[in-house]
Structure 1
């Protein structure tokens, strides 16, 4: 609700700004037209120019630009003055309450930052950062690896698939192990590129050379491409026109980047970007919690887990998480999930409490079975 109100405030400011902008242009154009008319009259008339200027002055006074602009500008200023207050109300400028002081290895942090720059193709920025930070050799290795990727991507922006095809061919076995059809998709784009040039024979020759090895598992797709040969001179008007969409290039580019990172043992998304994005998601509930817990900051500093649940989207979930149905606490290395003999799962600390540290059996909270704690086995997700 708070973000919705903030969005509404922003839209009000934007609307007032557009009205003010339009009114300013309208008045300015009107003034310009009157001045141009006066100049034409002066140039074409033998009368004294002072009379023309006097007439122009009367017309400009009638237009009254300042009074016309005053109203819209006043409304814009009011909206602008209210917006910072709405920002301060929704977005707490002091986030120091929601984080704790943690000692980080500056060398590792520098490597993460430098690697992020190289992953984004910001090689000059990364070099500058390394020159300032020093002692980040691991990040330099990342530079050489990702330079190859960005050379391929730059070539694809110019509709040149040769570097991409060369890389995919060299890594075809690994791509197959990963279940990726990237190599075929690159050949797909190259085939259409040749066909668009009007060379049907050359396109057919290319298909015979490069599609044979994929016929067993991708025959339907290859048949569609062969159907394109019938419309080589009017492919944009054919039933296969959708194959020419630029989004196909974007999809293949994304898949190439993903597979390139995968073969390097790197994640597709920059770890630094993911960390920052997750922090942004988790910040609002933590700020609300700390506003309530102002007098208990010391407790927050010593907690091993977040004091409030933070709902993150699926893209931030990288491993299985188990929450004990009894204690409602998330499992940890010290409090792992345990499989009961009846098949239900509880955390170790809950089992210890219910069994009095293993001194007696207890009833499973989800079925009538009696459980012997010594028969419980740790689960590893």
Structure 2
């Protein structure tokens, strides 16, 4: 609720600032107009003696008009806004500056940390920085990764300029593995090239390409190839045809993502940079950790002595990577000895929690998450 009040205050201040800016523009326009009118009156005077008198009069009148137009009430009144200063304490409370409270001392493997940082810089194509880091940290084995990342970046950079050459070369070299994985990157590549030729060089070039590269794929992708060939009839207006999706520029980005995903899979690494994921997850969980640290500090408990968080740390599904289940009752992580069990109502508990609730299977029990009842025999083990 406090943040909502702060947001409302910012919105009100923004409206007043907008109004103040509008008034200032009006004043500037009026000042320019009065000065221009004064200059016209001075220039229209032809008699030098009279002109001297007229100029003094005109300048006096201009001064009086500008004093009225540019009064302090017009300019300073709208800007005297102290509403945001009242929100300072709320912002300091919510946006806690000391995030070190949520940190704990941990023994990290230096080699692992170096590898994570090296892979991050490789993924950003900062090869010069990595070369320096590898040399200073003594991580010589990381040099072998450079060729892999360089090849991937060459493919992606070429795709940005609609050059399919490097991608075609890599797909040809890994054709067997791609087919085993069920990936149709070869077809997607030829579709992009076909449409590019159709829109750039015309029907004849596209059809010639189809006879050379698409014909061998007809046995496996007849429907897709027939649709490509029908699009030839709409060559001049493909973007306004039933085949407009073929000309969608986002197809190139989608193809680049597919190539990246396949490349990373074959290289045995994640498509998402581990360091980026860790930082994003830490930022999302930081408010909860800070609140927990404050509560524990008030109760004079040792934050760094904890081996497990006493409250769940809710993160988005994009941060779910491993088949790990923590029982909502016991807060224990499930294992082979204590597997997750599915109740008839659809909720999941660990085996030990069910044993306790059912008195080792001697009685029925109620699900702790809903009013439905269950028995030990009705529970089924889950296998991730």
TM-score between the two structures when normalised by the length of structure 2: 0.79
- 2:312 counterpart of 1:304: no
2:207 maps to: 204
Equivalent runs, 1:40-189 vs 2, <5 Å: 46=46, 47-48=51-52, 52-64=58-70, 66-75=72-81, 78-127=82-131, 129-130=133-134, 133-189=136-192
- Cα distance in structure 1, aligned partners of 2:40 and 2:166: 63
- Displacement of 1:172: 2.1
2:368 maps to: none
Query: Which sections of structure 1, spanning at least 5 residues, go unmatched?
Result: 371-377
- Displacement of 1:295: 4.8
Summarize deviations over 1:236-288 as a string: whole Å, max 9, x none. Answer: 33222333222222222222222222221111111011111111222222222
Count, aligned residues: 367
Summarize deviations over 1:331-377 as a string: whole Å, max 9, x none. Answer: 2559632789xxx9975655897999xxx98667542669xxxxxxx
- Cα distance in structure 2, aligned partners of 1:279 and 1:54: 67
- Displacement of 1:175: 2.0
1:373 maps to: none
- Cα distance in structure 1, aligned partners of 2:266 and 2:202: 35
Distance 1:336 1:23, change over 3 A: farther
- 2:249 counterpart of 1:246: yes
- Cα distance in structure 1, aligned partners of 2:128 and 2:30: 50
Q: Bigger shift: 327-336 or 195-204?
A: 327-336
Distance 1:112 1:191, change over 3 A: same
2:332 maps to: 330
Distance 1:212 1:289, change over 3 A: same
- Cα distance in structure 2, aligned partners of 1:10 and 1:211: 59
- Displacement of 1:322: 2.9
Moved runs in structure 1, 4+ residues, more than 6 A? 351-356
- Displacement of 1:294: 1.7
Q: Bigger shift: 216-225 or 307-316?
A: 216-225
Distance 1:205 1:334, change over 3 A: closer
- Cα distance in structure 1, aligned partners of 2:13 and 2:139: 46
Equivalent runs, 1:194-343 vs 2, <5 Å: 194-295=197-298, 298-324=301-327, 327-332=329-334, 336-337=338-339
Contact 1:12 1:79 survives alignment (8 Å):
no
Of 367, 373, 376 in structure 1, the residue corresponding to residue 375 of structure 2 is: 367
- Cα distance in structure 2, aligned partners of 1:288 and 1:195: 60
- Cα distance in structure 2, aligned partners of 1:128 and 1:38: 68
What RMSD, in angstroms, separates the aligned Cα atoms of the two structures? 3.7
Summarize deviations over 1:311-331 as a string: whole Å, max 9, x none. Answer: 222211112233447x43232
